[in-house]
């Protein structure tokens, strides 16, 4: 399953730099994950300081 980013995101960008397929981008108020490109590796969740990325 793909990951999604909850609204607890603080827009630090840590997740985007760790994504091996570059499917995370900065949205209007938080980062967003392209679910079609996500390979569910969990790197984003492992580096997020607030636990915003979660599996759908």
SS3 at position 45 = helix
Distance CA 1, CA 12 (A): 24
Residue among 14, 21, 27, 17 nearest 40 (CA): 21
What is 3-44 written as a DSSP string?
Answer: EEE-TT-----HHHHH-TT--EEE-SSSEEE-TTT-----HH
Per-residue pLDDT, 6: 98
Per-residue pLDDT, 24: 98
Distance CA 10, CA 5 (A): 10
Question: What is the reported pTM?
Answer: 0.92
Q: So where are the chain's domains?
A: 3-55
Fold designation for 3-55: Alpha-Beta Plaits (3.30.70)
Task: Give tens-digit pLDDT for 7-56.
Answer: 999 999 999 999 999 999 999 999 999 999 999 999 999 999 999 999 99
């Amino acid at each position: 399953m793909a990951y999604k980013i909850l609204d607890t995101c603080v827009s630090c960008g840590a997740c985007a730099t760790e994504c091996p397929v570059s499917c995370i981008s900065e949205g209007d108020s938080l980062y967003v994950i392209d679910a079609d490109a996500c390979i569910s590796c969990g790197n984003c969740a492992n580096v997020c300081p607030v636990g915003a990325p979660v599996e759908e």
